[in-house]
Amino acid sequence: MGLLDKVESSETEATKKKPAKAAKVAKPAKAAKVAAAKPKKVKKEKVKKPRPASLSAEFEIAPKLSRVICWWINFTANFALLITAGFLSAYTGGSGNGGVAITAVAVISLVVLIFNSIFLPFNSGRNLGQFTSSTRYIRGDGTKPNFLHALAVNNIGLLSLVGFWLIFTQAGSLSDGGTTPMVMTSIGAVFMILWIVNWQFTRNSELNQGLFDLMFGAYLVRYVPEEKATSGFRARLESMSQFGEKYAKRVEERAKAKEEKANSEDSEETTEESKDD
């Protein structure tokens, strides 16, 4: 009987020890769960763009947001009415009263285009987009670039559209022979290639300089006039910068709020992981 009691007591002790072993096995599963948790976001450090040695220290290269605002304002001013005239022409067929309205819109769009792309740059060295975004083109010594620079930069987009239209309308007539379709198609191709080359230069430049910027040694910089005009047409143009500054401020506030939210979520996850441990 003594031997039987010893066997039963050893079996009872083995049974009691099994849950303890199971509890120890559960720890790796918990560790795997923690390891599978969402990794922390690694903040990318902002790399400051190199400053050209030829640019005076009083000027600051325009940031990306200012360039975006400038582009959208110029695109809207130059092409909004022109696109509207195209839609009206497609909708009405260009007949009757619709034809008169289309002609009026097309004339107004041409006047606005000439005003923004030629008159303003020649008179003030800036266009509507640059007034709104508080930017302007300057050379390294602070002087205004040659007028041809503004003419090329402001109209490269329009030339690309003209080039597309020439290719679209004339390429089908190449098989008929004649020099006119060939010349027009070639001009259109040159216009489109110029736009692509300029875009590639801007895309690959650390200072966002396009083909014509490099040719004329021009930089798009922040512009803060020493003395703002208080009356007249020039004052109205300079007051447009308030809209751009307000928009830029809202964008910065949203980005800051988003960053703070991400940081708080990361801290909450860290706290939860420490509690689990």
Q: Tell me: pLDDT of 193 over 90.
A: yes
Q: 20 or 104: which carries more pLDDT confidence?
A: 104
* pLDDT, average across residues 213-239: 75
Least confidently predicted of 88-102, 106-120, 196-210: 88-102
Give φ, ψ of 169 to 5 degrees.
-90, -25
Q: Tell me: pLDDT of 51 over 80.
A: no
Domain residue extents for the chain: 64-242
Q: What is the pLDDT of residue 276?
A: 62
**Contact yes or no for 135/66 (Cβ under 8 A):** yes
* pLDDT, average across residues 252-268: 75
* pLDDT, average across residues 225-252: 71
Give φ, ψ of 135 to 5 degrees.
-130, 165
- 3-state per-residue secondary structure call for 93-118: CCCCHHHHHHHHHHHHHHHHHHHHHH
* pLDDT, average across residues 190-214: 88
* pLDDT, average across residues 141-170: 86
**Tokens, residue 241:** 């910068």
Give how far Cα 44 sits from Cα of 16, 41, 206, 259, Å: 54, 9, 18, 12
Average pLDDT, the chain: 75
**Contact yes or no for 147/176 (Cβ under 8 A):** no
Give φ, ψ of 174 to 5 degrees.
-65, -35
Q: Tell me: pLDDT of 4 over 50.
A: no
